[in-house]
Amino acid sequence: MALTLDILTREVKVLAFDQYGTVVDIQAGLTEAVTPFLAEKGWKGNPHQFVTWWRRTHFEDSMIDSLIDRGHTPYRQIGHRAVGQVMDRAGIEHSRSDIEWLVNLIEELKPFPDVIQALTRLHTHYRLAVLSNGDRDMLEAAKAHIGYDFDLTISVQEAGAFKPDKRTYSKAEEIIRTAYPTVERSSILFVANHAFDCIGAKAFGMRAAFIDRRRRPFGQSSYQPDLIVQNFTELAAVLCDI
């Protein structure tokens, strides 16, 4: 482990972060936002479960979109489909404006409490970027709510596929190396709360850090993360105490 950390702190120059679920708390944020909406609709179910259905449906649809490779569908459009499907599943009467309002909530999500302080510390040692499945306009709108200015914000729209498609990490590398020509692929540490995202980055040749907030096993993939930490505070402590 010591050798791995030594290599990371010596060679890594750029940290690239997933946004939804890693930088911002999408599960708790959406659950809090939809609770009064669902109550007004008269739905007696669990708002947390509603959000879980929504996110799983969105993820499945986005993976299908990438796998059939018929052109990139915007994140927002997939979100509209996912929310509509979940409300149909839950038997909730809804309008098009209801669907649009719910998906727009994603732009207003707040970061986890430990994120901003840790990013500020990390930025004293590394360049910081976002690589997100969100659309360009959604990521731009989210900046005011996150409250932190990353060096680069990259949407997978630039690649025309959703993570973990290798094209997304390849395009991110191209954009990062255009901004910072001395950075190598292995000098980019991708940081995510999702195992699939870390696996995609590792398979492409980047390094990966898994934010294990939920304390769940990473799994038996042959593409294991270089670093597993519980939160951003620990990430900053490990990478900056050099």
Residue 223 is given by DSSP the state S
Q: Is the peptide bond before 164 cis (omega within 30 degrees of 0)?
A: yes
Over residues 112-162, the pLDDT tens digits come to: 999 999 999 999 999 999 999 999 999 999 999 999 999 999 999 999 999
Contact predicate 214/155, CB 8 Å: no
* Backbone Cα Rg of the chain: 18
Q: For a pLDDT cut of 90, what percent of the chain falls above it?
A: 91
Give pTM, 2 decimals. 0.94
What is the SS3 assignment for 202?
helix
pLDDT band at residue 66 under the 50/70/90 scheme = confident
Cβ neighbours, 10 Å, residue 41: 16
Phi, psi dihedral angles at 189 (to 5 degrees): -105, 115
Distance CA 150, CA 235 (A): 17
Structure tokens at 82: 């996912």
Contact predicate 21/27, CB 8 Å: yes
Strands 227-229 and 14-17: unpaired
Q: Identify the pLDDT of residue 3.
A: 47
Sheet containing 227-229, strands listed edge to edge, beginning at the edge strand earlier in sequence: 152-155, 127-132, 14-17, 188-192, 207-211, 227-229
Q: What is the mean pLDDT of residues 219-231?
A: 95
Question: Which residues make beta-bridge pairs with 228?
Answer: 210
Structure tokens at 106: 């994603």
Distance CA 1, CA 242 (A): 15
Question: Which residues make beta-bridge pairs with 132?
Answer: 155
Cα atoms in the Cβ-side hemisphere of radius 13 Å centred on 165:
21
Q: What is the mean pLDDT of residues 83-105?
A: 97
Distance CA 105, CA 170 (A): 29
Contact predicate 47/31, CB 8 Å: yes
Tokens 């609770």, residue located: 35
Kind and range of the H or E run holding 146: helix 136-146
Q: Identify the pLDDT of residue 5.
A: 83
Q: Identify the pLDDT of residue 242.
A: 59
Q: For a pLDDT cut of 70, what percent of the chain falls above it?
A: 98
Kind and range of the H or E run holding 14: strand 14-17
Write down all domains in the chain, each with its CATH number in brackets. 2-25+109-240 (3.40.50.1000), 26-108 (1.10.150.240)
Neighbouring residues of 131: CB distance < 8 A, sequence distance ≥ 6: 16, 17, 18, 154, 156, 163, 168, 169, 172, 190
Q: Identify the pLDDT of residue 1.
A: 41
Residue 223 identity: Y
Structure tokens at 35: 């609770």
